[in-house]
Amino acid sequence: MIEIRPLREAIGAEVRGVALGESISQKDAMILRSAFVEYVLLIFRGMELDDLELKTSADWLGSIGKIHMPLGRRRDEDLNIQLVSNIRNEFNEEIGSFGDSDMWFHHDNSFSQAPDKATWLYSVELPKTGGNTLFNNCYLSWEALPHKLKTKIAGKKVLQVYDYTVKQEPDLSDLVRIPHCWQPAVLIHPETKRPALYVNRLMSAAIQGMDKSDASDLLQDLFYYIERIDYEHTWSLGDYLIWDNRCSAHARTSFPPDQRRLLKRGKVAGEILKPFGYDGKQS
């Protein structure tokens, strides 16, 4: 029997009574989908999953997505599972991506036309300290915005850019070679119909119709609301987390470079996002 235990008022629930490596009934799939929409982030503990099981672990939510990072910039080759790791092999070559530094809050693949519906992470090897994953509920980020900021940003488009070779603010000088896409700054969630703030420091680089200076100032004001930590996950082996990329942002804390960390990452395919228009009367 499935048990859903909320973690925080703002976001997250722990799911018990489900083995993700086994077939999930239609009834249980409906329960999981409902919990996913309600809590935004779901945590399954003590999972033992091989790669084949991982590739079907989120079938209850949708079709498996493809990893966007080009193979030339990755150390692994699976199109559906990515190694998130600082581990090096016997030739001192990285076996995975994203190293051991902290990562700013972001929405996965917001720079693509149809961003991921969900991302999942599964822990295989962990450092003694650090490497925590931070989450923000972007519904609440929108709700917390002052009226003045709501009127400034709703209905606008934001240029989302990601250069896989850097971990800093986006560079707009050479977009031909860098993945990028204009997205709603505030989206309408396709299932809940609720607005969610959809900007982030790692990828949001410009606002349509605004000069660079004004856009930068407005984005800085908005990042404050995206970077509030609503939940911090300290990993244990066998943890499996899956979250809604459309209405949450996530980040990572750093960890000692001499301590090994290996997580496996996959995605659920998404759809084109629709913008939210604010008339000054909506909440």
**What is the domain partition of the chain in residue ranges?**
3-275
Q: Which tens digits make up the pLDDT trace of 232-278?
A: 999 999 999 999 999 999 999 999 999 999 999 999 999 999 999 76
pTM for the complete prediction? 0.93
DSSP β-ladder status, 231-233 and 103-106: unpaired
Tell me whether residue 196 is exposed, middle or buried, using C-beta atoms within 10 angstroms of its C-beta: 0 to 12, 13 to 18, 19 or more: buried
- Segment holding 207, helix H or strand E: strand 204-207
Q: At 168, is the pLDDT very low, low, confident or very high (cuts 50, 70, 90)? A: low
Domain 3-275 in CATH 1.20.1740.10: no
d(CA 282, CA 223): 22
d(CA 245, CA 217): 25
Q: What is the pLDDT of residue 57?
A: 97
pLDDT in tens, 169-209: 656 777 777 889 999 999 999 999 999 999 999 899 999 99
Quick: pLDDT tens for 48-69.
999 999 999 999 999 999 887 6
* Count of all residues that appear for the chain in the document: 283
Phi, psi of 92 (to 5 degrees): 65, 30
Which has more pLDDT, 78 or 128? 128
CB–CB of 120/41 below 8 Å? no
If DSSP codes are grouped into helix, strand and coil, which group holds residue 76?
A: coil
CA distance 22 to 213: 52
**How crowded is residue 85: how many other Cβ atoms within 10 Å of its Cβ?**
23
Closest CA to 158 of 104, 113, 205: 205
Q: What percent of the chain shows pLDDT beyond 90?
A: 76
Reply yes or no on whether the pLDDT at 219 is more than 70.
yes
pLDDT digits (tens, 9 = 90+) for 126-144: 999 999 999 999 999 999 9
Helices of type H across 40-186: 51-55, 138-144, 147-153
